[in-house]
Amino acid sequence: MPAVPDRGITARMSDCVTVRPARPDELEEVGRLTLEAYLADGVVNPAGSYAAELADASRRASDAELLVAVNPDGMLLGTITVCTPGSPLGELCRPGEVEFRMLAVAPGARRRGVGEVLVRTVLAGATEIGASGVVMYSAEKMHVAHRLYARLGFIRMPERDWYPLPGVRLLAFGATTAASGPR
């Protein structure tokens, strides 16, 4: 089941940003943007295996829902990968949950709400398909992202934190959706 309805979801923020599924002809650029964003944040080793995974947008598009944020001219501003339980890319989601991964905003497009509109699109899509919540991991030092998640209703889920490598802890966050009923 796709996290975003098959008809495609388009979200607009001040008519400046549109979120839509990535097109095959832009996958290479989406991969570059993702890797560039993570390198700018200093959270990935450029020679490591995760850098190669970040750059592989083709895999993300085939194994999950790969969304992009574009400006009115079609310029890529950001991207997010959406997984459901059973997806080869899902690491955290359980039945009834949607997971997002690899949220990335081009360094030149930051602080303009691009990350927020991408996450809100995932939340809306999860609600539309009846998912009870949205979950994700974040690196410990990504404090700006953590503030965004808190603003959007995500709470820490320390019982689901993950150590993918010795000394590397990924923090789990989750938010309930409108589909899960009143809080």
Residue-level pLDDT, tens digit, the chain, 183 residues: 344 443 344 444 445 899 999 999 999 999 999 999 999 988 888 888 889 999 999 999 999 999 999 999 999 999 999 999 889 999 899 999 999 999 999 999 998 899 999 999 999 999 999 999 999 999 888 888 999 999 999 999 999 998 988 888 999 999 998 766 554
Rounded Cα gap, residues 47 and 39, in angstroms: 11
Residue 124 lies in a domain: yes
Residue 1 lies in a domain: no
**Pairing assessment for the beta strands 97-105 and 133-139 based on DSSP bridges:** parallel
Domain residue limits at 28: 11-180
- Show Cβ contacts of residue 152 under 8 Å, excluding neighbours closer than 6 positions: 116, 119, 120, 123, 175
What is the CB neighbour count within 10 angstroms for residue 85? Answer: 15
Residue 110 lies in a domain: yes
Residue 162 lies in a domain: yes
Query: For the whole prediction, is pTM greater than 0.75?
Result: yes
Tokens (6 digits) for 134: 């949205």
Residue 2 lies in a domain: no
Helices 114-128 and 143-151, interaxial angle, to 10°? 40
Tokens (6 digits) for 37: 């964003």
Residue 114 lies in a domain: yes
Residue 4 lies in a domain: no
pLDDT recorded at residue 48: 85
Closest residue by Cα to residue 118 from 32, 37, 24: 37
CA 24 to chain centre: 18
Rounded Cα gap, residues 132 and 48, in angstroms: 34
User: Number of structural domains, the chain?
Assistant: 1
Computed from CA positions of residues 1, 38, 44, 27, in that sequence, does the dihedral angle turn out positive or negative? positive
CATH number at residue 102: 3.40.630.30
Burial of 30 (0-12, 13-18, 19+ CB in 10 A): buried
